[in-house]
Structure 1
Amino acid sequence: MHRVVVLALPGVIPFELGIPHRLFGNAYSLDGKPLYETVTCSLDGRPVRTDADFTLAVDHDASVIADADTLIIPPSHHDSPVLRTGEIPEPVARALASVRPGARLVSICTASFVLAAAGLLKGRTATTHWYYTEQFGRLFPDVRLDPDVLFVDDGDILTSAGAAAGVDLCLHLVRRDHGSEVANGVARRCVVPPWREGGQAQYIRRPVPAPAEADTAATRDWALQQLHRPIPLAELAARAGMSVRTFSRRFLAETGQTPGRWLTAQRVELARRLLESSDLPVDQVAERSGFGSGSSLRQHLAAALGVSPAAYRRTFQGSPQRSSGGGVRRASTASTRTRLPQTAIR
C-alpha cells in the first residue's frame, strides 16, 4: 500500500490533522481493498500539544518519514514562529531532509510556510490560506504564489489553501492515484463534494474600508451609495471638485486602483452581499449592484471569484429544510457533476 505519513508539529490544528487519515482511510480499490496506510508522527515520538485544549499522543517519531510515499504537514497554531519569521526550526529541517527521492510533499493551509522556509518551494508555484498571502509573499518572494486556487499540484510538491481545502487536495491525490471512481467513493463515504467550484477568492471577505482623511475619501463614500446606477468618471471628479486628470491621479495614489476598477470591485462586493442575504433573482441583483444585466454580473463574478451567481448563492446561502421527523436538514449545496476548475491543477 501507498504509505502516507502525517507530521504533527507543535501547536498542530486538530481539524486539518485529521483530514489525511479520514480521506485516505476511506480509499478502497474497486474490489474493496484499502489503498493507503496512514500513520501519524511527531518529531521525537512524544505527545504533541495541539492548538486546542488537548495534547495528542502519537505512535511514531520522525524516523517513519524515510519510508513515506507521501508526507503531509498540517498547519500549526497561528502564532507559529515560521509564520512570523520565515525561519524553519532545525529539527523540522532534519525531518524534511529525510524524505526519500520520489516521495510527495504535501502541505495543508499555512504549512506551506514550512515547505517554503525549507527552500523546497523556491521557483515553484504554491498557495496558502488567503489571510496569509501577503505575509507569505513578503517572507518568500522567490515562490510563485497563487492566492486564489484551492490547491496547487506542482508534481511532487502540492499545497492547499486553508482548512477544508485540505479535503479538496487529498481527494485530488486519490483521483490522481486511482481515478475518479475511487475518489468519488471516498467523497460519498465522507459526505463531501468530490470537488468544489471556483477558488478561494469566493471565501475572502473584502470589507470596504472606512473613508480616510484623503482628497477622494468623501467622493468614495458618496459613490458607495450610488452603486446601483452608472457613475461616470467626470461626475466623480466634479463631486470632488477636481479635473478628471487630477482626480484620477489622486484616486490611484490613495486606493491603488483606478476609479473604474474600484467601482467594479465595490459592485462585486455588493452583489455578493445580496446573493448571500436575499432571494432576489440574479437580474435584480445585477440591477441593484450596478451591473445592469444578469449576463454582465455573471461575467464580472466569474472574473473576480471564478464562480457563477447561482453557484456562489448555493455555497453561501444554504436554506434549512424540515425533515419528516421534525428536525432540520440542510439543502444540498454541491453537485457531483461540476467540472473541476482548471485553475486548481498546475
Structure 2
Amino acid sequence: MTGLAELPLRPELVGEQPYGAPQLDVAVRLNVNENPYGPSEAVIAQIAAAVTEVARDLNRYPERDAVALRGDLAAYLGHGLTADHVWAANGSNEVMLHVLQAFAGPGRTVLSFAPTYSMYPEYARDTHSGFVTFPREHDFTIDVDAALAAIEQTRPDVVLVTSPNNPTGTALPLEVVVALVDASPGVVVVDEAYHEFARTGTPSALELLPGRSRLAVSRTMSKAFAFAGGRLGYLAADPAFVDALRVVRLPYHLSAVTQAVARVALANATEMLAAVDRLRVARDEVAAWLAGRGLEVADSDANFVLFGRFADRHAVWQGLLDRGVLIREVGPAGWLRVSAGTPEEMTAFTQALDEVLADDDVSARMP
C-alpha cells in the first residue's frame, strides 16, 4: 500500500496530524465541552418526523442558501437581525474557514491572541494565510494597548478573538472589541461559541454590529444547544459580509437533513437550552473545588474550567484516564481543561483527581 510520505503532499502538510481530541470509549468524557444532556423523546420524535419529510425529496438538491434556517437563527439571536445578517454552515469550523477563504489567503495575515482555540492556525494553514499570535495577560485577558500595538505591527486582514475564550473561558469586554474593530484594517470576528454559558450580565458582541460592517460574531449549536452531532454553526454580520461568504461556500454545503433538524432544535430552543443553568452551576462548583485543592483555576464564563499548573500535566491526564475519566490536555504548558458535566460525571472526576493528586509520582505542581 502507498504511504502518505510517497504522495505529493503540500509541503506545509508534511508531518501534520489530523486535528481532533481523543475519542475514547471511557465511562466519563469531559474533554470536548459537549452538553451531556440530550434532547427529550418529544424533540427526538420531531427530529425524526422532519427527517422523514425531507427524505421524500432527497433526490433533489437542498435549498442552497438555507434562507429559512438563517431566518430562524436570526430570530433566536434577536438584536433586530434578519436572515440577510446570518450565515450558517457545518459547524463554526466551516464558518471560520469561509471567513478566511473570503478575507485572508496568500499574502494576507490572520491575527489572534494566545492561548486561544487551537483550530485557528489550521484554518490559516488550509487557506494559505499567514498566522500570528500575541500573548494574552497572565490572567488570560487581552490588554488593549498591547493588542493595538500588535495590530499596528502586523496590519492583519482578519482578527480572530474568542469570548468566552477557549481554552481559558475568559470573556472579552465590549470596549476591547470596539478598540480592535476601530484599529483593524481588515475584518474582526468574535467567536462566541460558548456565550450561552456566560454569567448573567456578560454582554455579547452582537450589540456592536450596527454600523460596523467589518465586525462579525460567530456562534454554534454544538455546545449549549446539545446539538454537537447536528453540526451547525453560524455567524451574524452586515449583509455585505454575509454575501462575501456566499461567494466562497461550496454549492449545497448544508444538507436538507441538517437544515431540517437544526430548525427543529431552534423551534425547541427553550428545552434544548434547559440544562445551561445546571452546567453553569457545575462549572462554578468544580472551579471552587479545584481551587480548594490548591490548584490554579482560570476564571471561566464557558462550560469548562482550565486548571493547573502541573510539572507533568500528561501524567495527571493519564492518571485520570486510567480511572475512566477523559479530560483535555490543551492550553498553556502545565494546564488541563475539564468540561462541566452531570453530577455523576463531576463526582467521578473529583474522586479520580483526588486519587491522582495523592500519587506523588504525578502530583508535583509547577512553582
Instruction: Please confirm whether the aligned pair reaches a TM-score higher than 0.5, indicating the same fold.
Output: no
Q: TM-score, normalised by structure 2?
A: 0.27
- Kindly name which structure, 1 or 2, has the bigger radius of gyration based on alpha carbons: 1
Q: Which has the higher contact order (CA 8 A, sep 6+)?
A: 2
